Amino acid sequence: MEEQHQSKRARLEEDADTFDGIGVVVLIGDQYNEFQDAQPNYQEIPGNYSNVAKKLMAKMKYTPGEGLGRHSQGRRNIIEASKQRGHRGLGSENKHFQQDEDTEWSVDDEQINIEEMATWIDECQLPLPDRATLDSWMKIGKKKMTIDDEANFCEPNILKDVLECKDMFDELESKEMVEARTRANPYETIKGAIFLNRAAMKMANLDYVYKYIFTNPRDDKGNEKIRSLDILYFADICAGPGGFTEYVLWKRRWHAKGFGITLKDPKNASDFKLTDFLAGTPETFEPYYGVNGVNGDGDVTRTENLRAFAEFVRSSSEGGVHFAMADGGFSVEGQENIQEILSKQLYLCQFLCAISVLREGGNFVCKLFDIFTPFSVGLLYLFYRIFRRISLVKPLTSRPANSERYIVCEGYRNADDVRDYFYSVNDKINELKLAERKEAVVFTTSYKRSEKTSGSEEDYFNTSENENSNQLSDSEIESDQQDEELGAELMTNALQDDRTIIQDKSSKHNLDVTEVVPLDVIRGDKAFFEYVVQSNNRINSSFQNSIGVAQVYALRKIQAFAKNRFQLDYFIPTNPRSKRNIPSPRDTFFKLLNTSLDDWETNNRIIEVTKSTIKRMTAIYNYRFTISGGRRYFILSLSGKFIYRTSFDKYGNMDVNKWEELSNSENRINLEMPENTLIEAEIVTEYRGEGKSQKHVNAIHIVDIAFLGGDDYRNFHIKERLRYAEKFVKALQKKSINTATPLRVKLLHRLNDSSTILARLQSKKMKGSRGRKNCCIVGSDKSDDSCFFIPTGLYIVKDILDPWVVRISNTHNRYYFFNTANNSSQYDLPQEDIASFRQCHELRLFWPWDDSNDFVDSNTAKIKGNRDDKVSKDELLDFIKVTLSGGNR
């Protein structure tokens, strides 16, 4: 027994010598009391631990500052919690993002502002520089691929902090970055709200801060520049998928007309996604991609694309757009610190595109990133000279930790010299890039031919001469159409090698445009120079857009949220983005007009002009007419191409209870209209040319309107309604789409002018008619007098209701309104007795023509039906003449 106890004792001693863990003492009988030395007082053990834990440690003979075990060889510190992050390998460490208690972020450290103030630079009083001066300002120098020393327009420590903070996040996984950024930015949860993406919210933010100078521009007196019958024209540059545009079209709906150019990649990832617009009206936006129009590539760095886009926009917008927006950017992953250098040509071309399409007095907003280099600041300086005033801002909806900011420009002054100078700068940049690519391809090909006899690849590419060389991506080569000059064989060989464009730093072609305005000129304008410096760092505490300091502040905040995952979140409630539901056309029709089927069936009969009905027209000046060229329909748009038309009942009247798709195999209509549009229109066959060369196409001729894009015009005067229809047609017109169905507005004439209008009828030789001529009316609307159609009759409507009649003043020879009930008269239109859309529809008269040729060749027309009750041309004109001479004048 004693030997067994000795063996157990030896094993315990051995265990105690090697123990370095938690420390558990096992007592086996009273024989081992000699191991129970005096225990320390547990109250002397430091640390914020419970008494139970301290007693356990004291029982194990724990001494503060020493490890457990017979020789104090155990751990002195507690085992730390795992700091493993994400899916990194075990043992991976990131010194910037190790979780620790020292990195804290207090909500009290940040002031969340919801009110922003626009800060403008003072207006430049200098005259615009001439072309000779501008050409002398362009500077060609060695291409730079670093920004570390660009401290001319900020404090050096600001630049240093920005670059260090950017470098810090190269080691952070993208998912962790997004999560931390989302929790760190109180405005992140706004996202796109009801719009396609966050870009729309940024544009809404900018528009609000700058008092709607984009969607509702005003003059110096505060008057709106865009009148009720005017269209707000805008351009969207490098802004696919179209968040900026969706906001503008949501704000102004179809009253705004946009033109867009953006890069079209093979997968259309950066193209405008008009079908995803749920808030705006994509029907009034027209993409145009430069050369080849809708089939172009949209590359704004190509001069020919810029010129083609500018020409198209100016010809389609009555001389230029009211404002332009640019939101270009591309991935700079791994090269974040030189994002400004990589984006310099994009800056230039966006600026150039804007001033090429703006009208005088127009406004511009463009996204920028860092503005530390003389090239970028030189561009801003020239805009400072050619706009009435400019402003730099970082809106609250822009993520605070990135370099993004916006330049806002108001009041463009036509500056042809500056525009042409920008073209020459862009051409020079492309020329230098092409020369660099040529040498790069030749360099690579020469290497391939010599590598078999001059050592291994590793030896060649590890030489110090090429160690820090710059590399261009394959996409940069493929994007330049001028690469065809390099030769198909060389280019093919080059693109097959990952090392294609390794460029020697000492190359004579490693050049670039480094300045567009000399640095001393920029420094010489104190107001501008100080404004830019203040925009990059906090020199003047009253300047609210100190972007550099704010960016460092935000980057460090993201670092804190990345280290500690449980910082407080901010939630900003927003309306959900819901899909557009397409209702039935029948339900929409009755909902818009707030009426019932029975009501419409009672008053939906066409009144034909006969010898009995013509006597109703006692007040000739109260009537107007249009020349009909086809069957009439109600046309209703539910959204985009979801357009329907009424069918007809057995009596030939429109049946509003049954609707058919407007486009079918019979009429081949290709048309888009905003939702909740209800018009009365004809489908007319239009002709161009005569004989065998004649061509024809179906067109929509608007006769009257009730709703346009949800706007109610039913109670406007018919002349005013058709003016809005003309504006509507102009906004929807897309010249770039040759297959689009022409949409026109019928010409409205006074009935007393009928003899003059009918005298304009002409005879045209129709294709396939064996030489027979048809009577035609030339000019379907005010904008096109090259087409014509075959008339089928006249629609006559009454625009003023009883007891008012329109007369002509003998004294002033102008129209006035006479009230037959109280014998009062006035020159102003009596608004309460205007014939509404429905009244014009119900009181309309139709004078059908059987053979309109007789209106040209003789004084008598062949009229449909029983000749005894029909009205001939002479009879109608005589009736009008007699009625006017009988006292209605």
Least confident of 128-142, 338-352, 469-483, 764-778: 469-483
pLDDT of residue 407: 96
pLDDT digits (tens, 9 = 90+) for 362-371: 999 999 998 9
Predicted confidence (pLDDT) per residue in 833-845, tens digit: 999 999 999 889 9
CATH code of 680's domain:
3.30.470.30
Q: pLDDT tens digits, residue range 55-66?
A: 887 788 777 778
* The pLDDT of residue 468: 36
Q: Are residues 612 and 553 in the same domain?
A: no
Whether the pLDDT of residue 462 is over 80: the answer is: no
What's the domain count of the chain?
Answer: 3
pLDDT (0 to 100) of residue 74 = 79
Of the pLDDT bands very low, low, confident and very high (cuts 50, 70, 90), residue 1 is low
Whether the predicted pLDDT of 455 surpasses 70: no
Say yes or no: 23 and 156 in one domain: no
**370-391 tens-digit pLDDT:** 899 999 999 999 999 999 999 9
> Is residue 544 domain-shared with residue 675, that is, in the same domain?
no
Q: Classify burial at 804, counting beta carbons within 10 Å of its beta carbon; exposed 0-12, middle 13-18, buried 19 or more.
A: buried
Look at residue 115 and tell me if it is in a domain.
Answer: no
pLDDT, tens digit (0-9, with 9 covering 90-100), for 31-56:
444 444 445 566 667 767 778 777 88
Question: Do both 654 and 553 map to the same domain?
Answer: no
- From 59, 76, 93, the end of a domain falls on 59
State the pLDDT at residue 187: 56
In the listed set 10, 32, 59, which residue is the last one of a domain according to the structure? 59
Q: Please report whether residue 75 resides in a domain.
A: no
558 and 589 in a single domain? The answer is no
667: pLDDT strictly greater than 90: no
- 309-331 as b/e: b if 16+ CB within 10 A: bbebbbebbeebbbbbbbbbbee
Q: What is the pLDDT of residue 867?
A: 59
Claim to verify: residue 42 and residue 191 sit in the same structural domain = no
Percent of the chain with pLDDT over 90: 45
CA distance 843 to 849: 20
Better-scored residue on pLDDT, 155 or 622: 622
Better-predicted residue by pLDDT, 528 or 185: 528
Residue 668 pLDDT:
81
Asked whether residue 30 is domain-assigned, the answer is yes
When comparing pLDDT for 179 and 681, which is higher? 681
Residue 155 predicted with pLDDT over 90: no
Q: Over the stretch 605-638, which tens digit does the pLDDT of each residue have?
A: 788 999 989 988 989 999 999 999 999 999 999 9
Catalytic hit among 327, 483, 512, 799: 327
**pLDDT value of position 51:** 80
Confidence (pTM): 0.78
Cα–Cα dist 842/825, whole Å: 27
Q: Which residues contact 22 (CB under 8 A, 6 or more apart)?
A: 60, 68
Q: For position 139, what pLDDT does the model report? A: 96
Known catalytic membership, residue 428: no
Confidence band of 115 (pLDDT split at 50, 70, 90): low
Q: Are strands 511-515 and 139-142 parallel, antiparallel or unpaired?
A: antiparallel
* Pair type for strands 654-661 and 642-648: antiparallel
User: What is the mean predicted confidence (pLDDT) over 745-762?
Assistant: 91
Closest CA to 807 of 797, 816, 796: 816
Angle at 833 between CA 830 and CA 838, to 5 degrees: 135
Please name the residue ranges forming H helices in 515-546: 519-524, 526-536
Would you say residue 107 has pLDDT above 50? no
* 81 in a structural domain: no
| Same domain for 774 and 729 | yes
Mean local confidence (pLDDT), 664-674 = 84
**In terms of domains, do 263 and 338 share one?**
yes
pLDDT > 70: percent of the chain: 70
pLDDT at 122: 85
Selecting among 54, 61, 202, 563, the annotated active-site residue is: 202
pLDDT at 748 over 90: yes
Question: In sequence order, what are the beta bridge partners of 712?
Answer: 707
Confidence of residue 287 (pLDDT cuts 50, 70, 90): very high
The dihedrals phi and psi of 273, each to the nearest 5 degrees, come to -105, 75
Tokens of 710: 């949800």
Average pLDDT of every residue of the chain: 79
Q: pLDDT at position 113, please? A: 54
Q: Is the pLDDT of residue 352 over 70?
A: yes
Average pLDDT of the segment spanning 227-251: 94
Query: Apex CA 576: angle with CA 248 and CA 405, to 5°?
Result: 45
Upstream peptide bond of 576 is cis (omega within 30 degrees of 0): no
Whichever domain contains 340, its CATH number is: 3.40.50.12760
Note the pLDDT of residue 769. 75
Do 166 and 29 fall within a single domain?
no
For the residues of 422-477, what is the DSSP string, one character each? Answer: HHHHHHHHHHHHHHHHHHHHHHHHHHHHHTTTS--HHHHHTSGGGTT-B---HHHH
50, 144: one domain: no
Band (pLDDT 50/70/90 cuts) for residue 555 is low
Asked whether residue 401 carries a pLDDT value surpassing 70, the answer given is: no
Bridging pattern class, strands 642-648 and 762-765: unpaired
Report the run of H or E that residue 593 belongs to, with start and end.
Answer: helix 585-593
At 34 the pLDDT is 44
In a domain, 482, yes or no: no
- What lies within 8 Å, CB to CB, of 830 at 6+ separation is 800, 804, 817, 819
The torsion defined by the Cα of 276, 280, 282 and 283, in degrees rounded to 10, comes to: 140
Q: What band does 232 get if pLDDT is binned at 50, 70 and 90?
A: very high
pLDDT given for residue 469 in this prediction: 37
Identify the pLDDT of residue 460: 30
pLDDT at 403 over 50: yes
Q: Which of 26-30, 237-241, 656-660, 738-742 has the lowest mean pLDDT?
A: 26-30
Which of 61, 166, 251, 367 is catalytic? The answer is 367
Residue 442 maps to a domain: no
Let me know if 327 is a catalytic residue.
Answer: yes
Residue 562: the pLDDT is: 52
504 is catalytic: no
As a whole number, mean pLDDT of residues 154-175 equals 73
* Parallel/antiparallel/unpaired status of strands 511-515 and 749-750: unpaired
pLDDT digit string, tens, across residues 205-223: 899 899 999 999 999 888 9
- The number of helix segments (H) and strand segments (E) in the chain equals 25, 27
Residue 457 lies in a domain: no
Inform me whether the pLDDT recorded for 301 exceeds 50: yes
SS (H, E, C) 821-864: CCCEEECCCCHHHECCHHHHHHCCEEEECCECCHHHHCCCCECC
525 and 648 together in one domain: no
Residue predicted with more confidence, 597 or 266: 597
Model pLDDT, residue 154: 83
User: Is the residue at 506 inside a domain?
Assistant: no
What is the span of the domain harbouring residue 16? Answer: 2-59
Residue 824 in this model has a pLDDT that exceeds 90: yes
Q: Which of 506, 531, 563 is the last residue of a domain?
A: 563
Least confident of 92-96, 172-176, 462-466, 752-756: 462-466
Same domain, 738 and 860: yes
Q: Please write the tens of the pLDDT for every residue from 471-512.
A: 444 444 344 444 433 333 333 333 333 333 334 444 556 899
